[in-house]
């Protein structure tokens, strides 16, 4: 509205409706992020109980975790494009419905095989939810500063899930490990009700790249399968070599396909934007440490140090609480000191914390371990909210779902590979303590490399919303400056 022109009743009413829709979109996205993150974290505490009830070795437990993260990673690229084509609101609702149904199936699974199968479905639904939730926020909050703050609130869903999952998982596991999945059902129902109240989302018609999709799934599946099986059979086993060969061939096929098809799942032009490439690398490195740590530490504390699931959850509580406490302030911290400086600091803290844990955990008391994990918890809100906001502000809204899909694929692939590699190290004859130390040192090295890379982040230089006359294809945005 031009300055000096008084607002009419209709203007005020329209603003109020838009505000209510934006709040509903944000809250729905927060709840969606909550249950997606909760299921990625809580299962670590319950793994020994699941093994006792359903059987299986380290490889079986790895698949309980990676069945979720693998499908999450494998389908995110397609899910981002799906969100753009169907509209973020519709895609989000579809994803939550599938997630609720799969969560119920996990909670009722009579055997390990069916639990892993349900986790595959759960991860597929989570893949649909994540880019759609980020796109919902982008559409509800088009202004850069308000969007950054909305992303910080959205991140609270993950922070609260991360902080509550270890203890809540320990408490629920005392009754039954099945409750860690069944708790998603009422939360998901509320998220659906909120999403229905949001404004319809814009759509973008793009042909589905079946060849690219199959190649992406084969690449990530082969890589993760090979890493998990290497823990049981060794890296020279024929099945492991075949899996890695499949991953390499499928990766090459995916790149060739994206370069030559008219409608790629992930336009390679996307990676010409520096911020996109750097944020994807940072997202991968962050999850290697942040989700790899609970997996290895939960098994170590319960199997080597003989703590209960509840006691293990208490060890993680300070780390998670400090992250949850700092998350609401992450946007303001980034505004004051700059996103690049904040992200680099967070990654450096994570690397230092993981290194100290690797060298002291074997002799430290549980209380000392809890204190030593604080730098890793502190790193979370310094990394993910600012880097997510940088990504969303570096691409036009028309491709927000696709960019978010690529970003979250890197995160979930980092988690899947961390569980696969770290699980293989834990299963080695040298024992849990040796495997824990190597795993944490690898995660620390990855975080340190990401800290160096994050120095390349720049202030986004493009508008968030493309002009109405502008084409929506990324290939037609060549006039935009590279962020």
Check: CB of residue 312 under 8 Å from CB of residue 301.
yes
pLDDT at res. 401:
65
Check: CB of residue 93 under 8 Å from CB of residue 196.
yes
Q: Return phi, psi of residue 183, to 5°.
A: -65, -20
Length in residues, the chain: 483
Q: How far is CA 182 from the centre of its chain?
A: 21
pLDDT at res. 220:
84
- List the beta strands (DSSP E) in 241-370: none
What is d(CA 428, CA 153) in angstroms, rounded to the nearest whole number? 41
Check: CB of residue 126 under 8 Å from CB of residue 72.
yes
What is d(CA 225, CA 404) in angstroms, rounded to the nearest whole number? 25
SS3 percent helix, strand, coil of the chain, rounded to 5, is 80, 0, 20
- Token couple for 219: 């690449």
Give the predicted TM-score (pTM) of the model: 0.72
CA-based diameter of the chain, in Å? 76
What residue segments make up the domains of the chain, in order of their start? 17-198+263-476, 209-262
pLDDT at res. 462:
44
How many angstroms separate the first and last alpha carbons of the chain? 31
pLDDT at res. 252:
93
Name the CATH code of domain 17-198+263-476 (choices 3.40.50.2300, 3.40.50.720, 1.20.1250.20, 3.30.499.10): 1.20.1250.20
DSSP string, 48-96: HHHHHHH---HHHHHHHHHHHHHHHHHHHHHHHHHHHHH-HHHHHHHHH
pLDDT at res. 473:
28
pLDDT at res. 460:
61
| Alpha-carbon separation of residue 99 from 68, 150, 169, 179, 186 (angstroms) | 11, 24, 18, 15, 11
User: Please, which residues have CB within 8 angstroms of residue 443's CB and are 6 or more apart in sequence?
Assistant: 288, 289, 292, 293, 354, 418
Q: List the pLDDT tens digit at each of the 483 positions of the chain.
A: 444 444 443 433 334 445 777 888 888 888 888 888 888 778 888 888 888 888 777 777 888 888 887 887 778 777 777 777 777 788 889 999 999 999 999 999 888 889 999 999 998 898 888 878 877 887 777 777 777 778 778 877 776 777 777 788 888 888 888 999 998 899 899 989 888 877 666 556 666 778 888 888 888 888 888 887 777 777 788 888 999 999 999 999 988 988 888 777 777 777 777 888 899 999 999 989 888 888 888 888 888 888 888 888 888 888 888 877 887 788 788 888 888 899 999 999 999 999 999 998 878 888 999 999 999 888 888 888 888 888 877 777 667 667 777 887 788 788 878 888 888 888 777 778 888 899 999 999 999 999 999 888 886 654 443 332 222 222 222 222 222
Quickly count: other Cβ atoms within 10 Å of residue 97's Cβ: 17
What is d(CA 453, CA 443) in angstroms, rounded to the nearest whole number? 15
């Amino acid at each position: 509205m031009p300055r000096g022109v008084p607002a009419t009743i209709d203007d005020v009413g329209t603003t109020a409706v838009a505000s209510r829709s934006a709040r509903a979109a944000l809250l729905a996205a927060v709840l969606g992020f909550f249950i997606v993150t909760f299921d990625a974290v809580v299962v670590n505490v319950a793994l020994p109980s699941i093994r006792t009830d359903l059987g299986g070795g380290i490889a079986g437990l790895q698949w309980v975790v990676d069945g979720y993260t693998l499908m999450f990673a494998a389908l995110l690229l397609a899910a981002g494009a799906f969100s753009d084509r169907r509209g973020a609101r519709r895609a989000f609702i579809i994803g939550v419905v599938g997630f609720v149904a799969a969560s119920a199936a996990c909670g009722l699974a009579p055997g390990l095989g069916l639990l892993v199968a349900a986790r595959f479905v759960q991860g597929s639904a989570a893949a649909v939810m994540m880019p759609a939730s980020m796109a919902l926020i982008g559409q509800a909050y088009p202004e850069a500063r308000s969007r950054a703050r909305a992303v910080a609130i959205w991140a609270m869903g993950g922070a609260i899930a991360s902080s509550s999952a270890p203890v809540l998982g320990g408490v629920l596991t005392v009754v039954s490990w099945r409750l860690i999945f069944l708790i998603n059902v009422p939360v998901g129902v509320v998220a659906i009700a909120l999403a229905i109240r949001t404004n319809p989302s814009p759509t973008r018609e793009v042909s589905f790249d079946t060849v690219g999709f199959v190649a992406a799934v084969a690449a990530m599946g082969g890589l993760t399968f090979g890493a998990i099986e290497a823990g049981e059979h060794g890296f020279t086993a024929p099945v492991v070599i075949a899996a890695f060969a499949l991953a390499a061939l499928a990766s090459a096929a995916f790149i060739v396909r994206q370069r030559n098809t008219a409608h790629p799942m992930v336009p390679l032009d996307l990676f010409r934007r520096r911020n996109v490439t750097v944020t994807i690398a940072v997202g991968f490195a962050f999850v290697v440490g942040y989700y790899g740590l609970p997996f290895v530490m939960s098994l170590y504390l319960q199997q080597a140090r003989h703590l209960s699931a509840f006691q293990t959850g208490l060890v993680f509580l300070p780390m998670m609480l400090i992250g949850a406490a700092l998350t609401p302030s992450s946007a303001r911290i980034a505004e004051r000191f700059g996103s690049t400086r904040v992200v680099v600091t967070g990654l450096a803290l994570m690397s230092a914390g993981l290194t100290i844990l690797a060298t002291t955990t074997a002799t430290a008391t549980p209380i000392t371990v809890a204190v030593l994990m604080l730098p890793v918890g502190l790193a979370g809100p310094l990394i993910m909210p600012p880097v997510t906001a940088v990504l969303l502000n570096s691409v036009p809204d028309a491709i927000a779902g696709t960019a978010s899909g690529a970003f979250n694929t890197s995160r979930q692939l980092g988690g899947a590979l961390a569980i696969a590699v770290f699980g293989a190290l834990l299963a080695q004859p040298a024992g849990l303590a040796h495997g824990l130390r190597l795993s944490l040192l690898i995660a620390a090295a990855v975080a340190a490399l990401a800290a160096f890379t994050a120095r390349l982040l720049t202030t986004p230089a493009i508008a968030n919303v493309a002009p109405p006359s502008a084409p929506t294809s990324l290939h037609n945005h060549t006039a935009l400056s590279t962020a």
